[in-house]
Structure 1
């Protein structure tokens, strides 16, 4: 991808799954990486080892985004590691499955919005302000979900957080465009990761999903990494305020009976 060599990029939630896939692709593109994690020590060590094996310079920063008061200090540390940042990937999030009846107090709902929506809002704001002070451009990628566009039972908190993230992506693109700061979103479909391997990789489950996707298969974390590199690169220098959906055609097909 054009313009990524040497770029300094912060990836939140880089210890596993899509975040780790993003890190490896960006490492291959020559980026210098700040890798965030919360609790998965072994996972972040593995991601760090893999990106360093690809020749990338990388540093690790820990933060629990449920504590929103810690974000300013976290970002200050992340910005300082390579004397600034050129890109931000808001990938960290929680997948909450619950109904309103089971979460009548809204505790899980509030925690989901804190991690998935409030935290990236604050981190993006810190990033934009730092770029403006440094008189430099920047690029932000928010990892959303197809649940921000079409969803199902049990996902009220998660879907609300992702729909909100899509909206924030567009608003911040409008607010910061005159400063040379681009903001785009990535909306993955069904992408097996460590926590879902046992379920999604069962033959019967894989067939169930593949029949509903025109592409006929799941996505993978490297494809999400390639899409992220695309959105951060100079190839998309005129692209801002967009949500890039990569789901094998699942949303396009709709919930029609199979014919």
Structure 2
């Protein structure tokens, strides 16, 4: 997968993650594949979900095969909410339980509201980006309680949940909702030892956007607005996910961890 992060920086120092059983949704490409790579290097046993990209999940498996960790893949269409419970039962059964859930799967919908006046795009985005994580998180908590074990949930949100623009009514609404859901679930389930946090990425080039974002004009436009001076990488997101899953954040729950190179911290101010 395309990346500009030095591989030597990708060795997470989270020894407590070794052997942990983690479900990552949407792992066939992009950020989900980056998460799988970093967590495999940390020694996690992985259940990797994909929807409609079997070639992509095969590439993810190729990327992590040298880690030697146990991995199982499972397919599910999260817009079909009636399929989620059976999918989760299968995921839980792979390693006789799960220690962590990473709700990464999502769709990036771009549509003007007046062009979606029947809310077809909105409803589809709501199902995949918010209702599916709600169902999966609730099932995860239910199963953890039944086994009397703690657990960790990481929701992959977006900076669009905090600051957004035109064309993103559906996407931004679901990401803002996911941040709110993170806080509610953290409050409801903290008493059971279940931590819930959000990761909010900024601009991270992935397979479908890499060529566009690295066009000179686009790179100048976006990277020039970031105090950190570079795009994020899928490995950056993977390392942040490992951090949120690890004991390093054992007192962190109900939080949104923003990784955007300082993009929204700058706001709309001109460069001076």
Normalised TM-score (structure 2): 0.94
Distance apart, 1:42 and its partner CA: 0.5
Residue of structure 2 aligned with 1:62, choices 53, 72, 75: 75
1:127 deviates by 0.4
- Whether contact under 8 Å (2:197, 2:254) holds in the other structure is yes
Alpha-carbon RMSD across the aligned residues, in angstroms, is: 0.6
Q: 1:170 aligns with which of 177, 183, 187?
A: 183
Q: Aligned partners of 1:9 and 1:63: how far apart in 2?
A: 17
Q: Distance in 2 between matches of 1:198 and 1:2?
A: 36
What residue number does 1:158 align with? 171
Question: Structure 2: which 5+ runs fail to align?
Answer: 1-13
Q: Is the aligned partner of 1:51 residue 2:64?
A: yes
SS at match of 1:113: helix
**What does residue 128 of structure 1 align with?**
141
The 2-side partners of 1:138 and 1:207 are apart by: 42
1:56-87 residue CA offsets vs partner (Å, 9 max, x unmatched): 11000000001000000000000000110000
Q: Deviations over 1:159-180 (max 9, x none)?
A: 0000000000000000000000
Q: Does the alignment pair 1:87 with 2:65?
A: no
Equivalent position of 1:78 in the other structure: 91
Quick one: distance in 2 between partners of 1:170 and 1:93? 19
After TM superposition, list the pairs within 5 Å mapping 1:1-259 onto structure 2. 1-259=14-272
Q: What CA distance in whole angstroms lies between the structure 1 residues aligned with 2:63 and 2:139?
A: 28
Q: What TM-score comes out, normalization by structure 1 length?
A: 0.99
- The CA deviation at 1:205 is 0.6
The answer on whether the counterparts of 2:25 and 2:48 sit within 8 Å (CA) in structure 1 is yes
Q: How far does the alpha carbon of each residue in 1:128-154 deviate from its partner, in whole angstroms, 9 at most, with x for none?
A: 000000000000000000000000110
Over residues 21-62 of structure 1, what are the superposed CA-to-partner deviations in whole Å (9 max), with x where a residue is unaligned? 000000000000000000011110111122222111100000
CA distance in 1, matches of 2:20, 2:211: 36
* Cα distance in 1 for residues equivalent to 2:65 and 2:21: 14
For the residue of structure 2 that corresponds to 1:85, the secondary structure is coil
Contact 1:2 1:235 in 2 (8 A): no
Does the CA contact (< 8 Å) of 1:2 and 1:234 recur in 2? no
